[in-house]
Amino acid sequence: MKKSLLAAALFGAFAMSAHAQSSVTLYGLIDTGLVYTNNQFGHSNWQMVSSSTQNTVFGLKGSEDLGGGLHAVFKLEQGFLLNNGAQAFSGDGFGSQAWVGLQSDPYGTLTFGRQFDVMNDLVGPLTAEFNTSGGSMAAHPFENDNLAANSVVINNSVKYASPTYRGVTFETMYSFSNKAGDFGNNRSYGFGVSYAQGPVNLAAGYLQLNNAGNGAGAVTSGDASANFIAQRQRIWSLGGNYTFGPATVGLVWSHAQIDNASGVFSFGTGSYLGSGDTSAGSLGGSLRLDNYEVNAKYALTPALSVSGAYTYTHGAYNGSSPGWNTAMLQTDYSISKRTDFYLEGVYQNVHGAPADSVLSHAMINTLSPSATNTQVAVTVGMRHAF
């Protein structure tokens, strides 16, 4: 009897010890609201939408202490549309994120799987389009620089993130095509660095996609991960913000060089083809886009804030010089730490693009394109995190 009691006590102690060294968390974010758009395919529209500002997701994340400052870590996350329950990334069980890896306190973190790119990790948080104070609708045209809140997810990726040293963090990644005899077809790689100390936050990065959307590989069009179908897409970005009291102001520049492009998407909704078709919009040749963003946020009270952003995008396409003006204004009120309500307006105008081309129609991200060169959208929504 005594031996049985001793064995039970030892087993219980071991179980509690193992439990204390491991953790698994269920988490999520729900973003839903009503949007009015003045022009979609030539008509005004009222619609219920999901993820106007932040991705609606649920997921599991966990960590196990392996001893000596080493941890096994993982994350499985699925994006979905609240209004109809559909998957945000069609056909993917965990389309938003699916990775596992090792985290070392002194040496950094190495992860493997379907992940966000390193430039999105470090430069994205400095933009209005990444944060709740703007979000997806405020993204740069066609989300050409992958800086919005986790819109492009990359398969077959190996990512390394350094520990933070005197405010500096470095990340790099490589994503395999997984194609025998075609190693360079639909692969990706990049790097980023950030500095955060006191009120100052700076970051820069580079990302390259080779043959994105070309069948299976690093970035696919089948699950709406690819924004462009092109031979090569190269993105440089640089940004910074400064916080003083209740205010934060930021500047971001990015350059997207898209070579031998054949199609363009925007968050999987497609582009205007002139007949109401929402499949991929046609492109031919190369496209260059420079985005210049200024953003600001001011906390009127701990619960109430206002924010705004303006981006001018200068393009070069087949001898033309299209330009986009995108402006956003938002007010947000938090009723608790996990629940808030927002009112946001976005305006976009495009000029100088070839007539009746896919680039000549304004298209606020997450929405169907306008029949003209101007589009205005106003959304009122609710977010809840758990």
Q: Which residue has the higher pLDDT, 9 or 322?
A: 322
- Spatial separation of the C-alpha atoms in residues 308 and 345, rounded to whole Å: 10
Residue 73 lies in a domain: yes
Mean pLDDT of the chain: 88
Residue 2 lies in a domain: no
Q: Which residue has the higher pLDDT, 135 or 225?
A: 135
* Side-chain-facing half-sphere of 273: CA atoms under 13 Å: 14
- Is residue 348 within 8 Å of 325, Cβ to Cβ? yes
Q: How would DSSP label each residue in 112-164?
A: EEEEE-HHHHHTGGGSTTTSTTT-GGGPPGGGTTS-STT--EEEEEEEEEPPP
- Spatial separation of the C-alpha atoms in residues 241 and 133, rounded to whole Å: 14
User: Which pLDDT score, from 0 to 100, does residue 281 have?
Assistant: 66
Indicate the helix (H) or strand (E) that contains 309: strand 304-317
Task: Name the band, by pLDDT with cuts 50, 70 and 90, for residue 356.
Answer: confident
Q: pLDDT tens, 176-200?
A: 998 888 888 899 999 999 999 999 9
198 Cβ neighbours under 8 A, 6+ residues apart: none
Residue 188 lies in a domain: yes
For residue 305, the enclosing domain spans 33-385
Residue 19 lies in a domain: no
Tokens for 260, please give them.
């031998």
Q: pLDDT tens, 71-109?
A: 999 999 999 989 888 888 877 889 899 999 999 999 999
Residue 7 lies in a domain: no
| DSSP helix/strand/coil, 226 | coil
For residue 187, list its beta bridge partners: 210
Model confidence at 29: pLDDT above 90: yes
Specify the CATH number for the domain of residue 172: 2.40.160.10
The total number of structural domains in the chain stands at 1
| DSSP helix/strand/coil, 254 | strand
Residue 54 lies in a domain: yes
| DSSP helix/strand/coil, 227 | coil
Residue 17 lies in a domain: no
Q: How would DSSP label each residue in 174-196?
A: EE----TT-TTTTEEEEEEEEEE
Q: pLDDT tens, 256-280?
A: 999 998 878 754 344 333 333 344 4
Residue 9 lies in a domain: no
User: Which pLDDT score, from 0 to 100, does residue 213 have?
Assistant: 75
Residues 226-254 have a mean pLDDT of: 94
Indicate the helix (H) or strand (E) that contains 4: helix 2-21
Q: How far is Cα of residue 265 from the mean position of the Cα atoms in its chain?
A: 15
- Look at the block and give the residue holding tokens 């129609």: 361
- Spatial separation of the C-alpha atoms in residues 46 and 361, rounded to whole Å: 20
Model confidence at 137: pLDDT above 90: yes
Q: pLDDT tens, 309-333?
A: 999 999 999 899 999 999 999 999 9
User: Which pLDDT score, from 0 to 100, does residue 266 have?
Assistant: 59
User: Which pLDDT score, from 0 to 100, does residue 89 have?
Assistant: 80
